[in-house]
Amino acid sequence: MVLSSERESQLMEKNMPNIYRSIDNFLARCNQDNGVPLPYEDCVQEVAIAYLQYIRRCETEDQLKIFPWYDAIHALSEYVLRCQPLSVPVSTKGFRKTLRTIPTTVSYETLVTNGLEVDGMSQTWVPDKETELDFDTFMSAQSPHVQRIISMKLYGMPVRKIAGQCGVGKSSVNNKILRLKKQYDQFNEEEPENE
């Protein structure tokens, strides 16, 4: 059903008490002490937009008589999430570790000029097949015990659980992983010379 702008305005005016009531009920249930205070006018705008989207989807007059309470709550919930501040870690140790694990990148122009196909929208690093083959070759030369530890680590198992599964201490698992990482770095450095 296509509504004229005058009809939309009439429905909006008629349902303003419901818009205010939905906001009042939502704010009464939310604890404002722990979050960012929400400007009431912005809440009115968010619910009014949700209501406008609802009436534009309606197909019958009976549907226009219903106020979309859940759409209003959903709009306000999204607004609350958008208003939340980002948290900053207390310690930078974890952040530095994360930064060190990010693979090195090259500019988009470099990739395009080298003739590689690039998905410009992708935000994740995807290892190439050569890297996977090199890693598989490297791992095939390792003992079954080390292969088991690395496979558990690659599947995201914490070191504490890996140590429990293998019957060794956490420091032993950490040392094996670090030693293997150094060996793999050396393995990668040797590869270009062999070609």
Quick check: is 185 in a domain?
A: yes
Q: What digits encode the pLDDT tens for the residues 40-49?
A: 899 999 999 9
Instruction: Outline where 59-158 has alpha helix (H).
Output: 61-64, 69-83, 93-101, 108-113, 129-140, 144-154
In this prediction the pTM is 0.44
**CATH number for the domain including 185?**
1.10.10
pLDDT digits (tens, 9 = 90+) for 145-161: 888 888 788 777 888 88
Asked if 9 and 61 sit in the same domain, the reply is: yes
User: How many structural domains are present in the chain?
Assistant: 2
* Parent domain of 35: 5-83
Mark whether 77 and 20 lie in a shared domain. Answer: yes
Structural domain ending residue among the three candidates 23, 57, 83: 83
Report the C-alpha gap between 163 and 173 in whole angstroms: 6
